[in-house]
Structure 1
Amino acid sequence: MVVTDPDTGELIRKDTGEVISDNALSQEKEWRAFGSEGDADRARTGAPVSLAFHDMGLSTVIGKESTDASGNQIDSATQMRMGRLRMWHSISHSHSPKERSLQQAFTMLSKIKDRLGLPDYVIEKAAYVYRKAQERGLIRGDSIGSVLAASIYTAVRQSGVLRTLDEISASIDVKPKQAGRSYRRIVTELDIKVPMIDHARYIIRIANRLELDERTKRKALELIEQARKKDLLAGRDPIGMAASILYLVNLEEKSYRTQADIAKAAGVTEVTVRNRSKELRNRLDMDSNSRSTLRGQKFPLLNESNTRKD
């Protein structure tokens, strides 16, 4: 029979006392505290490596414990000296402009994650795009906020998460025009393949906010498919087009949701909804003399006789 000495790690034959091995591996759980919380926050491993940290989570941190390894209290002079070392250690980690830029950008990225409710994989992808833009020198001449907004928008487009550039820009407090310029520059210089926008998802999103029924949603999806086949969606704001499609179907269904209601739910202006609706109706009528799939007839004219004043 073989027994294990937990203190020395030796395997000993019980009947003869012969030491079989003195290098046995411990099979017990190796719980340790990796943070400043101590025993209250014990884990098997530390935090995972992440691109969303300026040091990727691999930095060395001087702890704030007031006791040494033996559990004895550290005197006040030593604690003050360790505090100064901790301060200079923190400063030395961000001495270069590149490190300071990453630290500032990823601090903002962590806040935006909570504001927009973005998942972790989108944040990782956005951090990767930002690092690539920094390596290529694309941040020079732009603000950190605009490049970060462009990186997040690239990540959500690639991941299929519905977030507009206006929403992202508002959360960082930068102008959408600046973020759009940075986005075009990043996509062009880094040769990033961004998938096409799915207008149907924006229709469902706006319709859910307006609490429209399934019949209206289905007809709106049919109409957006007609517009796509006639190449009426290229170069247009997807949210504005989705809101206009819903407004046309809203008139057809006589649910009488005002332009203001639809524009507010979509986050666009009433002028956008009105102009895009007229353009869609005219283009659909000009391109085809056939009847619309909605109720087998053309759309009603957008004039005072069949629309309510907002």
Structure 2
Amino acid sequence: MALRDVYETGFDEQSDKQLSATCPECSSTVIADAGERRCTECGLVVTEQRLDRGPEWRSFDDDDDNSSRVGAPLTAARHDRGLSTEIGRIRDGTGSILPGRKRAQLGRLRREHDRGRFRSTAEQNLALACSELRRMASSLELPKSVAERSAAIYREAMKENLIRGRAIETIAAGCLYAACRCDGYTRTLGEVAEVARCDESKVKLGYRVLNQELGLEAGPRRPREFVPRLTSAVDASDDIERRARDLLQCADAEGLMNGRNPKGVAAACVYLAGQEVGEQITQTELADVADVTPLTIRKRYRELVD
């Protein structure tokens, strides 16, 4: 049985409020500086050798560089969250060339490290899917946030056992398209299929399975999302883009976008805006960019004119 009272705070765990705020010699203000408490007037060190729990680096107002050495940030786009180890080949940490015997030893260590890198076949498949997602996101010029979102969707699909019986490339392409839909990036199934290792029907299959089983937060596509792409592809001016957006608002108010292909409606608005502004834009080039037929653009154009 203990004969003493339990300490409420341990060693060097007293807060600044519990310590005296005045100097015992001259009754001046006491401040905390570099792990010790000293008087601002006479310089008396009231408390010393306290643990400094602050950072070991200093930050200045005009210094944008973050000097915190805490390693690389965690990311879901890698199978190990970014906590991986890389073994060098030719040079050491100082830049000096390693001798042949040391390089052979590092080669053996690298081989054993690669063998023990994955704990299971599922983790190895996850590494393959993450590398595929990063490759496709880079080919489509998508930001890193989309690659991380797609990797997170792939991990959820693994937990729900949706990968079994399906190709990794199919589910990975579906995850990337789902991430684009959830984050608001305009990428079509055809564009994803061009950089994926599967055709467009497989990309559609993977997205449909993910959407049905996981309940993704993917809203319907709006024609407004396709206007900047169409105007940029046909080298249209800013006046056409602004007029096309106004026409889309009118079409939405009249209910002309209900049940229709959003790409066809957007292409028809761009075509009508080009006629009003006075720039020549053909229906054929708009149909090629929007991945619709010229007949669809003509139908939507007549509805807008009426």
Q: Percent identity?
A: 28
**1:276 aligned partner, one-letter code:** T
Distance 1:217 1:25 in 2: 56
Alignment of 1:194-213 (within 5 A): 194-213=218-237
Measured against aligned partners, the alpha-carbon deviations of 1:108-145 in whole angstroms (never above 9, x if no partner) come to: 22222322221122221111011111221212233222
Q: Deviations over 1:62-116 (max 9, x none)?
A: 45476699x9998755643442232122122235221221111111222223222
**1:53 maps to which residue?**
78
Contact 1:67 1:73 in 2 (8 A): yes
- Aligned equivalents of 2:248 and 2:51: distance in 1? 70
- On the 8 A contact 2:267/2:290 being kept in 1, the answer is no
Q: 2:162 aligns with which of 135, 138, 159?
A: 138
| Distance change >3 Å, CA 187–CA 234, structure 1 → 2 | farther
SS of residue paired to 1:56: coil
**Structure 1: runs of 5 or more not aligned:** 1-10, 12-19, 31-41, 285-291, 293-297, 300-310
Change (3 A) 1:75 1:178: closer
Pairing 1:268–2:288 present: no
**Structure 1 residue 242: Cα displacement:** 1.4
Q: Amino acid of the residue matched to residue 246 of structure 1? A: V
Secondary structure of 1:207's partner?
helix
Amino acid corresponding to residue 180 of structure 1 in structure 2: K
Cα distance per residue 1:178-228 (max 9 Å; x no partner):
111211211121112213323113113212332334443343223323433
Letter in 2 for 1:205: R
Which amino acid is the alignment partner of residue 212 of structure 1?
A
User: Contact 2:239 / 2:277 at 8 angstroms: preserved in 1?
Assistant: no
Structure 1 match to 2:22: none
Tell me: CA distance 1:61–1:242, structure 2 relative to 1, closer, same or farther (3 Å): same
In structure 2, do the counterparts of structure 1 residues 62 and 199 end up closer, same or farther at CA, with 3 Å as the change threshold?
same
1:102 aligns with 2:126: yes
Superposed structure 1 runs of 4+ greater than 6 Å apart: 22-27, 65-69, 71-75
Q: Which amino acid is the alignment partner of residue 52 of structure 1?
A: A
Sort the Cα spacing of 1:84 and 1:247 in 2 relative to 1 into closer, same or farther, 3 A.
same
The structural deviation recorded for 1:263 is 2.5
Deviations for 1:219-248, whole angstroms, at most 9, x for unmatched residues?
322332343345443454432331233234
Shift of 1:279: 2.9
Deviation per residue, 1:244-268 (Å, 9 max, x gap): 332344445553322222234x242
**Correspondence 1:25-174 to 2 at 5 A:** 44-64=69-89, 76-77=100-101, 79-94=103-118, 96-174=120-198
Q: Which residue of 2 aligns with 1:280?
A: 300
* Greater displacement, 42-51 / 90-99: 42-51
Q: Are positions 1:178 and 2:202 aligned together?
A: yes
Q: Is the 8 A contact 2:178 2:218 kept in 1?
A: yes
Given residue 279 of structure 1, which amino acid in structure 2 is its aligned partner? K
Please identify, of 247-256 and 120-129, the stretch whose mean Cα deviation from structure 2 is larger.
247-256
Q: Do 1:29 and 1:44's aligned partners in 2 also have CA atoms closer than 8 Å?
A: no
Kindly provide the amino acid, as one letter, of the partner of residue 248 in structure 2: I
Cα distance between partner residues in 2 of 1:66 and 1:214? 54
With normalisation by structure 2, the TM-score equals 0.68
Does structure 1 retain, via aligned residues, the 8 Å contact 2:163–2:171?
yes
- The aligned counterpart of 1:238 is 262
**CA apart distance, 1:21:** 4.9
Deviations 1:136-195, CA, capped at 9 Å, x for gaps: 121223322221122112212222222222212211132122111211211121112213
Matched-pair contact (CA < 8 Å) for 1:149–1:165: no
Distance in 2, Cα, partners of 1:280 & 1:211: 22
- Using the alignment, how far apart are the partners of 1:120 and 1:51 within structure 2? 10
Amino acid at match of 1:233: M
